[in-house]
Chain A
Amino acid sequence: MNAGERLTDANFPAHPEKATLEGKNKFLGFWLFLGGETVLFATLFGTYLGLRNMHLDGPSGEELFSLPLVFLATMLLLTSSLTSVYAVLSLKQNKVRSLQGWFLVTLLLGLGFLGLEIYEFIHYVHEGHTFTSSAFGSAFYTLVGFHGAHVLFGILWITTLLARNWNRGITLSNAPKYYLFALYWHFVDVVWVFIFTVVYLMGKVG
């Protein structure tokens, strides 16, 4: 069977994302990539933790951070993680329209999160907390910015993926791509769990 062919309910495999060797390879390779990303973010977290009290004359995290805003951002990203797992459920049932719908919701929630983050950064800069103002500033924007860049990349990724496959069904070639995006998006949320805990909540108690 051609990997680009639309799957029917009759020939639909139990794990369309891993039904071909290419899919198996992508699945495993992406998981390993996420293992590497764990180390990448850990290095950023370590740097932040080492430097987080070095705010010099500028405002400290305790003075800056606004918990309601962070809570809202957290809810947006958490919900987007749920909608992407719903999309994966639709993938397993060969329901392409529902898959597209859930990923669209994910995309919108991701955009909302990104908007909040940009608003937050602009606000901080006005408060005198900039990238170059202190070691704390550099470490904060690098860690949170790296996460934001991941969100942005995810948005570009799912937009391209949805646009390219809008008029196609689920195939053995695009099923792994949808699945991998969902993994990526969950991972972005995993990182955020530690960011709101370590950066914002721990920042509030000094």
Chain B
Amino acid sequence: MATHESHKKRSGLMDWLTTVDHKKIGILYLLAGGFFFLIGGLEAVLMRIQLMEPDSKIFTGELYNQLLTMHGTTMIFLAAMPIIFGFMNAIVPLQLGARDVAFPYVNAVGFWLFFFGGVLLNLSWFLGGAPEAGWTAYAPLSTVAEDTGVDFYVLGLQIAGAGTLAGGINFLVTIINMRAPGMTFMRMPLFTWASFVTSGLILFAFPALTVGFFLLMFERVFDANFFNPDMGGNILIWEHIFWIFGHPEVYILILPAFGIISEVISTFSNKRLFGYSAMVFATVLIGFLGFMVWVHHMFTVGLGPVANSIFAVATMAIAIPTGVKIFNWIFTMWGGQIRFSTAMLFAVGFVPTFVMGGVTGVMLSVPAADYQYHDSYFVVAHFHYVIVGGLILGLFSGLYYWYPRMFNRVLNETLGKWNFWLFFIGFHLTFFPQHWLGLMGMPRRVYTYMSGQELDGANFVSTIGAILMGAGTIVLLINIIISASSKYATTKDPWDGRTLEWSMPVPTPEYNFAQTPLVRGLDALYVEKTAGNGEMTPAEPVGEIHMPNGSILPFILSLGMFIAGFGFIYSNWYVAGAGLGLVLITMFLRSIIDDHGYHIHKEEVEADIKGGRA
């Protein structure tokens, strides 16, 4: 093959900068997302320290506003979403029986755009102050802010958001086009299903946000008048656009967690997932309803009783498919042989915690009651119950579950249990008292409160809880460091897994499957285990495998966007032009350089199989 010679093996840093291997990109997402998770967590602890005592003066005024804005923004866009993309990259192609994702190059572009967008946003701390208009950046708060904080917000997130959109399309096409023979839609593992629906939500929700960010950017950088009532603008346009994106966004976050929990509960109960098709249907229905409820974030705007009632009913309806899921998880555990590994502990902890967040969600969906709860700590308690108690517990569960597949080592179970209990108890200590704080009238986003209003005790407990959550996270870090310094220590299937990702050797070969597997039922590996085979039946003979070449262009393209971002923030058109020029040049290079990838020869694959490496 003439194309073979064009393939260069790179090593070290250059390998990571140029990789288009979904397994490595998954690790990059996980590391970068984990880093931003620590930053966002630190911001949270600093806020809780300020709120520990009444009339405290440690982080006040503008600085507190910056902390709360950056905490929310970082956690949603730079921690949760990338970690989800990390798992999707690492696991979805393996669960499908695919050798690669549909667009390996675009996948790398997506990661680097997210990375540079996140770095750009966080550099604001050192360059005149972080954004202070809240993660929702409501106009006119965001349009009248005079320093550059909101400019960093809007450009950083615009760049990161473009990467997310690219990732969403990539996974939709991967799942539709690249399933192994026999892997029908109704045999796909639930995590893959959740990734599919989440990617669909990304595809249709993020363009609205893209436009919203453009409008806000034009308003700030080019003096447009979308949100300025003096010039005929209307601030509600921002609120509608933001929540048309924003509500699907919370389902983008939670659905993959649902998927992880389904996998973990089924595996560690040694049982097939109860009500598989109902679970799939519920996932799709939640995704659909996610687009129909955004106005419940705007009940107090005054859109009128008709609009409020319609959206209230739609919101309550979401409780139905979610309830289906909760019961199916419980019925999966019912009568199963449950093994309480760390992953399972997180999954079991998730179920009641998420239900509590769901119940307060239904409470908030009643407009009349929402007038009371709105903008109070009750809302803070609610969304932390669903996002931390739901999503983050799910991600921790997934991390312990898939760590052996991603990093070829098992995390220590004793430390894992410390991690779970510290985090779980800390979580409830932090956020449960906040329900009462909110009902007693404590507003959110305010940096202090007076003593003598019976808010002291609950706030103190809440801060202690936050410190415990921090301690739990530190235990996880120690666990990761210990495992990183140990040698490979895992078998290919440490949990007695049921899905395809556990059928392959450790470490996973770069081409994933030497021979594409033949899928003969739901829980493909479990089917073969019960049939006495123990491993997958191949669907094809050993042959040449086509692989994509690595490329530095995604990195350079994203760097160009990063530079252009600075240009727009400081209204320096030369820098902006240079950055966008770099982007166009990389796109041009990508289209004129023929890159047909390379082939791994049949003999090499056969040698890998013989050596137990494939």
Contact = CB atoms under 8 A, between A and B. Distances in A.
**A–B in direct contact per CB < 8 Å:** yes
Interface of A: 2-4, 21, 24-25, 28-29, 32-33, 35-37, 39-40, 43-44, 46-47, 50-51, 54-56, 131-132, 134-139, 142, 156, 160-161, 164, 173
B173 interface: yes
A132 B207 contact: no
Given A3-B596, A39-B205, A160-B592, 10 more contacts: A25-B102, A25-B177, A32-B173, A40-B207, A47-B211, A47-B215, A50-B237, A51-B234, A131-B222, A138-B218
A39 B291 CA distance: 12
Nearest to A173: B596
Nearest to A37: B207
B407 to A, nearest CB: 29
A56 B176 CA distance: 50
B234 A50 contact: yes
A39 B592 CA distance: 31
A114 to B, nearest CB: 17
A54 B232 contact: yes
B592 A132 contact: no
Interface residues of B, number: 45
Nearest to A168: B594
B508 interface: no
Chain A at the B interface: mostly helix, strand, loop or mixed? helix
B204 A39 contact: yes
The 8 closest A-B pairs by CB, nearest first: A54-B232, A135-B232, A40-B207, A138-B224, A43-B211, A25-B102, A39-B207, A135-B233
A43 B203 CA distance: 14
B177 A132 contact: no
Which residue, of A21, A47, A51, has the highest number of chain B Cβ atoms within 10 A? A47
> Which of B218, B224, B232, B591 lies at the interface centre, i.e. has the most chain A CB atoms within 10 A of its CB?
B232
B103 A35 contact: no
26 contacts: A2-B3, A21-B178, A28-B172, A28-B173, A29-B102, A29-B170, A35-B203, A36-B203, A36-B206, A40-B208, A44-B211, A51-B226, A51-B233, A51-B234, A131-B222, A132-B224, A134-B225, A134-B231, A135-B228, A135-B231, A136-B232, A138-B225, A139-B226, A160-B588, A160-B591, A173-B594
Interface in B153-207: 165, 169-170, 172-173, 176-178, 203-207
A161 B225 contact: no
B461 interface: no
Contacts of B222: 131-132
Contact of B596 (A4, A36, A139): A4
Contact of A33 (B169, B584, B592): B169
B177 A43 contact: no
A194 B493 CA distance: 55
B177 A134 contact: no
Interface of B: 2-3, 102-103, 165, 169-170, 172-173, 176-178, 203-208, 210-212, 214-215, 218-219, 222-226, 228, 231-234, 237, 240-241, 244, 584, 588, 591-592, 594, 596
Nearest to B232: A54
Contacts of A32: 169, 172-173, 203
Given A25-B102, A32-B203, A138 B226 contact: yes
Contacts of B173: 25, 28-29, 32
A137 B232 CA distance: 10
Nearest to A40: B207
Given A28-B176, A47-B211, A56 B169 contact: no
Contacts of A134: 225, 231-232
Most chain B beta carbons < 10 A, residue from A21, A40, A164: A40
B591 A161 contact: yes
Contact of B241 (A21, A24, A43, A136): A43
B218 A43 contact: no
A29 B3 CA distance: 25
A149 to B, nearest CB: 11
Most-contacted residue by chain B among A2, A25, A132 (CB, 10 A): A25
Interface of B: prevailing SS = helix
A36 B232 contact: no
A56 B323 CA distance: 51
A147 B214 CA distance: 14
Contact of B226 (A24, A33, A135): A135
A37 B204 CA distance: 9
A159 B336 CA distance: 62
B609 to A, nearest CB: 23
Nearest to B227: A135
B212 A43 contact: yes
Contacts of B584: 156
A51 B237 contact: yes
B314 to A, nearest CB: 19
Contacts of B211: 40, 43-44, 47
Contact of B169 (A2, A29, A43): A29
Contacts of B594: 4, 173
A137 B219 CA distance: 12
Contact of A137 (B103, B177, B210, B225): B225
Contacts of A28: 172-173, 176-177
A2 B1 CA distance: 9
A135 B204 contact: no
B210 A54 contact: no
B258 to A, nearest CB: 23
Contacts of B206: 36
A40 B212 CA distance: 10
B172 to A, nearest CB: 6
Contacts of B215: 47, 142
A15 to B, nearest CB: 15
Given A25-B173, A43-B208, A44-B211, A164 B165 contact: no
A193 B219 CA distance: 27
Nearest to A135: B232
B250 to A, nearest CB: 18
B222 to A, nearest CB: 7
B592 A135 contact: no
Contacts of A164: 591-592
A50 to B, nearest CB: 6
Contact of B207 (A43, A46, A136): A43
B53 to A, nearest CB: 45
A7 to B, nearest CB: 15
B224 A56 contact: no
Of A4, A56, A135, A156, most buried by chain B (CB within 10 Å of CB) is A135
B203 A29 contact: no
Contacts of A139: 226
Contacts of B596: 2-4, 173
Contacts of B588: 160
Contacts of A161: 591
Contacts of A135: 225-226, 228, 231-234
Nearest to B588: A160
B63 to A, nearest CB: 33
